Structure 1
């Protein structure tokens, strides 16, 4: 749901500006990725901003019903944020938050809820602060919006997001062929970041992991942007292939982080990764 709100200029209208002691301010679009209660009326938040990247901030008075923060900041929402970033300060100070979009599907459907939490969690864990990734921001927003559609393939939407996340953070999986002949079963080595020949049934928990050719071909289709909805991962691909590809990329992300994100076991309850079963 997209909510209409006043522009930042009108939010700031009527406030005194201290021209003698200017403080660097900013206005940005943001997704809320984490929230902590700081006091009865205030919050500390982690935001994924379109232009500023990952941002930690204090929102004083955010939980007051008649404050300037739309009643507080919540996960699975998008809004316009206004704040101040002082030089050398660990956290910014938010002065305004205008709620513009609520992703209701992530609150009303368990699978979409876990998918949304996983998206937010991996963004926070893989990105560094003040490192803008506008393409990843757009993809995260696109994925959350796609999950609002009643008939969307949530697994396909997640797969596309995970691929862009790895590419944008410098961890693009190398799934190209040509170095060795394709076989029905190959391997994925997380240390090398790509395919290897079949490691055999004795593959170790920390890699390499066995992967089916069908899964490899699906990931190769993600290398080139889709020219239409018919070219998206959900078109013409079996649900099992999408699920296996998601598990592989999620396991690779967990390997990069040094541990699996806690929500992963909820997102894939029948086996959290290729370490449990052949991908």
Structure 2
């Protein structure tokens, strides 16, 4: 009986393993058949988009004040950056001309809701309110980001736990700043209209720490004229995916943009655009950690 029992158990284990082995073999064959990641090719060209603000034109709202994603090149006075090029690539691949509308961040999301742009946001962070909003639509992620701070090296602040009575500054309306207010409810705060103004506020003593996203912080520490006086404040208060935002009346544009973004992730062009302006492409390369 013992031998029979052992044989039966062994047979049961072997039979149970067959489906798993078959699945592994099928998965391997499927992967080999498909090959390396590749973009989707069967999409309309040009893509028929029904509710654009202007026929044949992709109207994009951007701050032009969030390097390295969007900024004005001081040498040419032209709008440039990784996300400016991303918007231009989207327009080209969708068969559209492009027109930028430059304004402060506080006006971007209301501008979408009011129908001023088709597309906007050089990386809007996800939260329940935004994902569930009827004022705009959010695309699939274009990158990961995090809330960090910048301070002066002589401030004595090395982490958010050291903030104490230091004034915490940030850009008016940005989710990173709003999140920092909630995380540091006792801190006095100072609002600024843009990133450069907040950095000036730090240097002239209006704020002891300025809050921003990690992408902007790394660029500031790399490119700012006063970078030798600056230090990072961490660890990050929050880590989150970011995406572009679409006019709520243009669900067909959302489908088109999501298709293109999937292609850019597959063929490496999204990572290449980020790497052209930033010291790291980790924000794109790590999207697979959240299923993209």
Q: How high is the TM-score relative to the length of structure 1?
A: 0.24
- More relative contact order in 1 or in 2 (CA 8 Å, sep 6+)? 2
Q: TM-score under structure 2 normalisation? A: 0.23
